[in-house]
Amino acid sequence: MDELSARPQRIRRRRFLDYSFGAALAALAGTVLYPVINYLIPPKTKEITHQAVVAGKAGELPSNSGKIFAFEGRPAIVLRTPDGEVRAFTAVCTHLACNVQYRPDLQHIWCACHDGHYDLHGQVLSGPPPRPLVEYKVTLKGEDIIVSRT
Amino acid sequence: MGVRDWLNERLRYEAAQAFLEKKAVPVHRYAVTYYTGGVTLFFFVVQVLTGLLLLMYYRPASDAAFESVRLIIAKVRFGWLVRNIHVWSANAMVGAAVLHLAATFFSRAYRKPRELTWVSGVLLLGVTLAFAFTGYLLPWNTLAYFATKVGTEIAGDVPVIGRALMVLLRGGEDITAATLIRFFGIHVAILPALATVLLGLHLTLVQIHGMSRPISVRVRGEERFYPEFMLRDFIVWVVLLGGLAVVATLWPWPLGEKADPLAPAPAGLRPEWYFLFMYQTLRMIPGRIAGLEGEAVGVTLFALTGLALLLVPFLDCWAQREHKHPLFPALGAAAFAFVLLMTALALVAGM
């Protein structure tokens, strides 16, 4: 008690006011920044929810070749293996999101950006990609190659 | 303490602080006019910040501009707030700039050695109006489309260079997609560059010369600019910011309909309030005056008035000798009354 009353009153009031002022400033900054930060978050664009997409004509895809097409607004790759099987994967490399391509000379999928190699099931053969490519379901309906999510 | 010394060694901010503390603001019965400049600056800062935010989503193309503004209002979080504040603050800035001009004019703060402060200030008012005019078209709605058509048509009435000026403004003979891109470029690049240079000059000159004391007004002493005056400046700004937020929330600025160059002009088309007096004057001027086209005469008169306003410090030779002559306040009051009367007439005619 004695120690408290010995303290100069003015300093304590000054410090209280300083803190109040600081808190008010912080509140003001928060009030301004909250809408600004929210504003900067882009609004969701319409989800493209195609159940199935026609990737191309079966006749246009010879064996040992691949073709990039759009699936749900993102690149996907459809390929025909040297054995004649048709498969489809996402074409976005799992490493740093470059577009992959089919290499007829290597007979597998390759990403040019950092030399990532995937086999014909989308599994990583070598290079930096951490995960395999996601495979899609392929159905052949007449001449059409129809790709959908598995 | 270490950080402070380190910074001070490099930034010499203590020198700036000492300068600010030395700067004094006279205290007298008209001292409240000293806030008008800071208020204008506040609205300008709001315009810069909200304008930068709008740039994140706005698309300056005739087939996308309207939709992008609608996206901002409807889809982007707080987009309506940012857009409404930008529009309201633009109006407030024009008002504040005019108040600041009136305060400076009637206290004769333009006299020696502040002539260039005045000139840069009048030019800044011109830049402000140009900001308002070019910004108005950007949402590409019907009102803006036709208002711009009329506005640029008026620019075409400026003697000798009018026609070329109009084509230069429009980026062709008509208001097209090219006009929109042009106005966008002027609004977000050319005018900000001009404003930065002029504002830099204006504020530097204010620091060099300090606040003007009106002639023969009894000064009751003075107070330090920093921190006393500056803190009160900030309080005014915080109140204005709150006011802007309230107004922008309660009275959203309508977007209108997308411009259709082939549609007939909407009825009751009027410019923004700060251009109403010109609009009304041009409407009342007879078609022909002494063998000249009335519209061209009116526009020429306005151009000359603008020039006279720019040259006020050099024309008012009495104030240069620290002498109060009633001619200039009388002229100013007459001009002010004329603007008010014309605006009122335009408002009445529009109702």
pLDDT tens track for B118-136: 999 999 999 999 999 999 9
Taking alpha carbons only, the member of B169, B167, B199 closest to residue B184 is: B169
Give the C-alpha separation, B253 to A39, whole Å: 18
Question: Which of B77, B234, B240 is most worth mutating to test chain A (most A CB atoms within 10 A of its CB)?
Answer: B77
The CA distances from residue B81 to A115, A132, B255, in Å, are 48, 45, 13
* B244 touching A (Cβ < 8 Å): no
Give how far A66 is from chain B: nearest CA, Å: 36
Residue range B299-303: average pLDDT?
90
* B82 touching A (Cβ < 8 Å): yes
Taking each helix axis as running N to C, give the angle between helix B177-185 and helix B142-155, from 0 to 180 degrees, rounded to the nearest 10: 80
Instruction: Quote the ipTM score.
Output: 0.86
Give the C-alpha separation, A141 to B20, whole Å: 80
Tokens of A133: 């490519």
The burial of B267, by beta-carbon neighbours within 10 Å (0-12 exposed, 13-18 middle, 19 or more buried), is given as exposed
Taking each helix axis as running N to C, give the angle between helix B35-55 and helix B191-209, from 0 to 180 degrees, rounded to the nearest 10: 150
Kindly tell me if the per-residue pLDDT of A1 is higher than 60: no
CA A26 to chain centre: 35
Kindly tell me if the per-residue pLDDT of A3 is higher than 60: no
Strands B292-293 and A52-57: unpaired
The burial of B252, by beta-carbon neighbours within 10 Å (0-12 exposed, 13-18 middle, 19 or more buried), is given as middle
Kindly tell me if the per-residue pLDDT of A110 is higher than 90: yes
Contacts of A40 in chain B (CB under 8 A): 53, 56
Taking each helix axis as running N to C, give the angle between helix B177-185 and helix B115-137, from 0 to 180 degrees, rounded to the nearest 10: 150
The burial of B37, by beta-carbon neighbours within 10 Å (0-12 exposed, 13-18 middle, 19 or more buried), is given as buried
Per-residue pLDDT, B100 = 97
Q: Which residues contact B135 (CB under 8 A, 6 or more apart)?
A: B90, B183, B187
Residue A48 pLDDT grade (very low, low, confident, very high; cuts 50, 70, 90):
low
The CA distances from residue B262 to B66, B112, B177, B179, in Å, are 17, 54, 14, 16
**Interface touch A40/B75, C-beta < 8 Å:** no
* B51 touching A (Cβ < 8 Å): no
Of how many residues is chain B composed? 351
Residue range B212-231: average pLDDT?
90
Residue A6 pLDDT grade (very low, low, confident, very high; cuts 50, 70, 90):
low
What SS3 class is residue B231? helix
Tell me which of A35-44, A139-148, B174-183, B307-316 is least confident: A139-148
Contacts of A18 in chain B (CB under 8 A): none
Tokens of B301: 């008169």
pLDDT tens track for B161-183: 888 999 999 999 889 999 999 99
Judge contact between B135 and B187, C-beta under 8 A.
Answer: yes
Question: Which of B76, B89, B230, B249 is most worth mutating to test chain A (most A CB atoms within 10 A of its CB)?
Answer: B76
Judge contact between A66 and A77, C-beta under 8 A.
Answer: yes
Residue range B123-151: average pLDDT?
94
Kindly tell me if the per-residue pLDDT of A2 is higher than 60: no
Give the C-alpha separation, B178 to B194, whole Å: 22
Q: Which residues contact B227 (CB under 8 A, 6 or more apart)?
A: none
Of how many residues is chain A composed? 150
Kindly tell me if the per-residue pLDDT of B38 is higher than 60: yes
* B238 touching A (Cβ < 8 Å): yes
Write out the H or E segment, with its range, that includes residue A138.
strand A135-141
Per-residue pLDDT, A46 = 66
Contacts of B238 in chain A (CB under 8 A): 28
Judge contact between B220 and B27, C-beta under 8 A.
Answer: yes
Kindly tell me if the per-residue pLDDT of B112 is higher than 70: yes
Would you put residue B221 in left (φ > 0), alpha (ψ -120 to 50) or beta?
left
Residue range B43-53: average pLDDT?
98
Residue range A90-98: average pLDDT?
91
Judge contact between A137 and A150, C-beta under 8 A.
Answer: yes
Taking alpha carbons only, the member of B85, B242, B246 closest to residue A36 is: B85
Give how far A96 is from chain B: nearest CA, Å: 25
Question: 3-state DSSP helix/strand/coil percent for chain B, to nearest 5?
Answer: 70, 5, 25
**Interface touch B77/A38, C-beta < 8 Å:** yes
Average pLDDT along chain A? 88
Residue range A77-90: average pLDDT?
92
Q: Which residues pair with A69 in a beta bridge?
A: A76
Question: 3-state DSSP helix/strand/coil percent for chain A, to nearest 5?
Answer: 25, 35, 40
Kindly tell me if the per-residue pLDDT of B156 is higher than 80: yes
